[in-house]
Structure 1
Amino acid sequence: MAARPSAHIDTFARDHLPPAAQWPHLTDLGYPARLNCGAELLDATIERLGADRPAFRDAAGTVWTYGGLRERVDRIAHVLTGDLGVLPGHRVLLRGPTTPLLAACWLAVMKAGAVAVTVLATQRPHELATVCGLARVEHALCDVRALDDLAAAGVPGLRITPYGGAGPDDLLRLAGRRTGAYEAVATASDDVALIAFTSGTTGRPKGCMHFHRDVLAIADTFSAHVLRPTPDDVFAGSPPLGFTFGLGGLVVFPLRAGASAYLADWGGPDRLLRDIGQHRVSVLFTAPTAYRAMLPKLSGHDVSSLRRCVSAGENLPAATWHAWEKATGLRIVNGIGATELLHIFISAADDAARPGTTGVPVPGFEARVVGADGRPVPDGTPGLLAVRGPTGCRYLADERQREYVRDGWNLTGDTYVRDADGYFSYVARADDMIVSAGYNIAGPEVEDALLRHPDVAEAAVVGRADAERGQVVVAHLVLRSGVPRGAETVAELRAFTKAAIAPYKCPREILFHDALPRTPTGKLQRFRLRGNGPAVPGRTS
Structure 2
Amino acid sequence: MTRLTAPVLSPSAYQDTFAREHLPPPEQWPDFHFDLPELAYPARLNCVAELLDAAVARGWGERIAVIGASERWTYGELQRRVDAIAHVLRRDLGLVSGNRVLLRGANNPMMAACILAVLKAGLIAVPTMPLLRARELEAIAGKARIDAVLCSANLRGEIDALAGPVSHIVYFNAPGQPDALELRMARHTTPFAALDTAADDVCLISFTSGTTGVPKGTMHFHRDALAICDCFPRHTLASQADDIFIGTPPLAFTFGLGGLLLFPLRVGAAGVLLEKLTPDSLLAAIASYRATVCFTAPTFYRQMAPLAAGFDLSSLAKSVSAGEALPLATRDAWQAATGLCMIDGIGATELLHIFISAAGDDIRPGATGKPVPGYQACIIGADGALAGPGVIGRLAVKGPTGCRYLADARQLDYVHDGWNLTGDAYEMDADGYFYYRSRTDDMIISAGYNIAGPEVEDVLLRHPAVLECAVVGRADDERGQLVEAYVIVKPGVAADAALVRDLQDYVKAQIAPYKYPRAITFIDKLPRTETGKLQRFKLRAA
Task: Output the TM-score relative to the length of structure 2.
Answer: 0.97
Alignment of 1:356-505 (within 5 A): 356-505=366-515
Q: 2:46 aligns with which of 26, 33, 36?
A: 36
Distance apart, 1:150 and its partner CA: 1.4
Contact 1:79–1:175 under 8 Å retained in 2: yes
Contact 2:60 2:268 in 1 (8 A): no
* Pairing of 1:89-128 with structure 2 (within 5 A): 89-128=98-137
SS in 1 for 2:502: helix
The offset of 1:269, in angstroms, is: 0.3
Partner of 1:537: none
Partner residue in 1 for 2:3: none
Note the alpha carbon deviations across 1:275-316, whole angstroms, 9 max, x for none.
000000100000000000001111221111111100001100
> In structure 2, what is the Cα distance between the partners aligned to 1:101 and 1:258?
19
Question: Match of 1:448, as an amino acid?
Answer: D
Aligned residue pairs total: 531
**1:313 corresponds to:** 323
Counterpart among 282, 287, 291 of residue 281 in structure 1: 291
Matches within 5 A, 1:140-159: 140-159=149-168
The 3-state SS of whatever aligns with 2:310 is coil
Corresponding residue SS for 1:94 = strand
What one-letter code is carried by the residue in structure 1 that aligns with 2:22? Answer: H
Q: 2:221 corresponds to which letter in structure 1?
A: F
Paired with 1:86 and 1:457, the residues of 2 have a C-alpha distance of 50
Residue aligning to 2:4: none
* Counterpart mapping for 1:238-253 below 5 A: 238-253=248-263
Shift of 1:109: 0.5
Residue 131 (structure 1) aligned with residue 135 (structure 2)? no
d(CA) in 2 for partners of 1:394, 1:372: 25
| Structure 2: gaps spanning 5 or more residues | 1-6
Task: Find the residue that maps to 2:228 and give its secondary structure.
Answer: helix
Paired residues for 1:245-264 under 5 Å: 245-264=255-274
Letter matched to residue 518 of structure 1: R
Could you list the runs of 4 or more consecutive aligned residues of structure 1 that deviate by over 6 angstroms after TM superposition? none
Residue deviations 1:342-365 (CA, integer Å, cap 9, x gap): 000000001101111110000000
Whole-angstrom distance in 2 between the partners of 1:37 and 1:424: 31
Residue 71 of structure 1 aligns with an amino acid whose one-letter code is R
Give the structure 2 partner of residue 3 of structure 1. 9
Letter in 2 for 1:101: M
- Identity percentage of aligned residues: 58
Give the CA deviation at 1:377: 1.0
The 1:375–1:49 alpha-carbon spacing in structure 2 relative to 1, beyond 3 Å, is: farther
2:245 maps to 235
SS at match of 2:112: helix
Return the letter of the residue paired with 1:88: S
Look up the SS of the partner of 2:146 in the other structure. Answer: coil
| Distance in 2 separating the partners of 1:49 and 1:483 | 58
Most deviating of 212-221 and 265-274: 265-274
State which drifts further: 413-422 or 262-271. Answer: 262-271
SS at match of 2:300: helix
| Superposition deviation, residue 494 in structure 1 | 1.1
Q: Does 1:64 align with 2:73?
A: yes
Cα drift, residue 155 of structure 1: 2.5
- Report the 3-state secondary structure (helix = DSSP H, G, I; strand = E; otherwise coil) of the residue aligned with 2:251: coil
Report if the CA contact (8 A) 2:306-2:337 is conserved: no
Residue 332 (1) aligns with residue 342 (2): yes
2:533 aligned with 1:523: yes
Query: Is the 8 Å Cα contact of residues 30 and 418 (structure 2) preserved in structure 1?
Result: yes
Which letter does structure 1 place at the counterpart of 2:426? Y
Query: What is the aligned counterpart of 1:169 among 165, 174, 179?
Result: 179
Q: For each residue in 1:114-148, what CA deviation from the matched residue of structure 2 results, as whole angstroms up to 9, or x when unmatched?
A: 00000011100110000000000010100000111
Q: CA RMSD in A?
A: 0.9
Q: Is the 8 A contact 2:149 2:166 kept in 1?
A: no
